[in-house]
A and B are shown apart, each in its own frame.
Chain A
Amino acid sequence: DQQVKQNSPSLSVQEGRISILNCDYTNSMFDYFLWYKKYPAEGPTFLISISSIKDKNEDGRFTVFLNKSAKHLSLHIVPSQPGDSAVYFCAAPSYNTDKLIFGTGTRLQVFP
């Protein structure tokens, strides 16, 4: 049972344009969401998060939007840069235990 889903395994975007990465979830008890970024041969690093009491959180070029009624969140990167090329995971803390549930990831490639 995949509670956090990323249906696009890959995305290719030109440098300077917007990248939009999507994530869907099934459990309405989730109250917090995070995005992680992973380069090859490195561990994932925390990027940005959002609480379910908000519908938007912004940090520099990165903005996360949350649509609770649709159980959908998205990560916008504007403008995209070649250094943003990585695998992006969305995640949610389990509502009854202290662990994170991750999606399957989206590989973003930003080309010049």
Chain B
Amino acid sequence: DVKVTQSSRYLVKRTGEKVFLECVQDMDHENMFWYRQDPGLGLRLIYFSYDVKMKEKGDIPEGYSVSREKKERFSLILESASTNQTSMYLCASSPPKTGRNSPLHFGNGTRLTVT
């Protein structure tokens, strides 16, 4: 069974802080993704990665960066946290051809509050 683990379930940070959200998957998946979920807006893609050291912008990358130094780990970085980044953050992984041959596997999410 695929396991995607997000390091924190809940985080409270102050405006302007640098925030790191960590995600680890144990199935040797090539693709990893960061989404945020907000009421009425669904799941929006922030960044994704096809391979180590590789990254692609999603639909809402502004204010975020990512790091993928190892295949199993994908980190989301908020360079300077702002209150509009208060959200549920979801990490996911899959083999290639996401959605067709294999669905995304999600972690349990990190609820981030920026005050």
Write the residues of chain A forming the contact surface with B, with a CB cutoff of 8 angstroms.
6, 9, 32, 34, 36, 38, 41-46, 49, 89, 91-93, 97-105
Q: Which residue in B4, B37, B96, B103 is a CB contact (below 8 Å) of A98?
A: B96
**From residue B88, how far is it (CB to closest CB) to chain A in Å?**
9
Instruction: List B contacts of A44 (CB < 8 A).
Output: 43, 90, 104, 106
Q: Could you tell me if B106 and A45 are in contact, using CB atoms closer than 8 angstroms?
A: yes
A93 touches B108 (CB 8 A): no
Taking a contact as CB atoms under 8 Å apart, the answer to whether A105 and B42 are in contact is yes
Contact A97 B56 (CB under 8 A): yes
Chain B residues whose CB sits within 8 angstroms of the CB of A32 once the complex forms: 99-100
Q: Mark B70-85, 1 if CB is under 8 A from A, else 0.
A: 0000000000000000
Main secondary structure of the interface of B (DSSP, over half): strand
CA distance A32 to B98 in the complex (A): 11
Interface 1/0 per residue, B14-55 and A, CB below 8 Å: 000000000000000001010101001111110010100000
Shortest distance from the beta carbon of B22 to any chain A beta carbon, whole Å = 15
Contact (Cβ within 8 A) A43 B103: no
Q: Are B109 and A43 interface neighbours, CB within 8 A?
A: yes
Q: Are B58 and A46 in contact (CB under 8 A)?
A: no
Task: Determine the distance from Cα of A42 to Cα of B100 in the docked complex, in whole angstroms.
Answer: 23
Contact A49 B103 (CB under 8 A): yes
What residue in chain A is nearest B98 (Cβ atoms)? Answer: A98
Determine the chain A residues whose CB is within 8 A of the CB of B107 once the complex forms. Answer: 43
Q: How far is the CA of A49 from the CA of B99 in the complex (A)?
A: 9
Closest A residue by C-beta to B99: A93
Q: Min CB distance, B47 to chain A, in Å?
A: 10
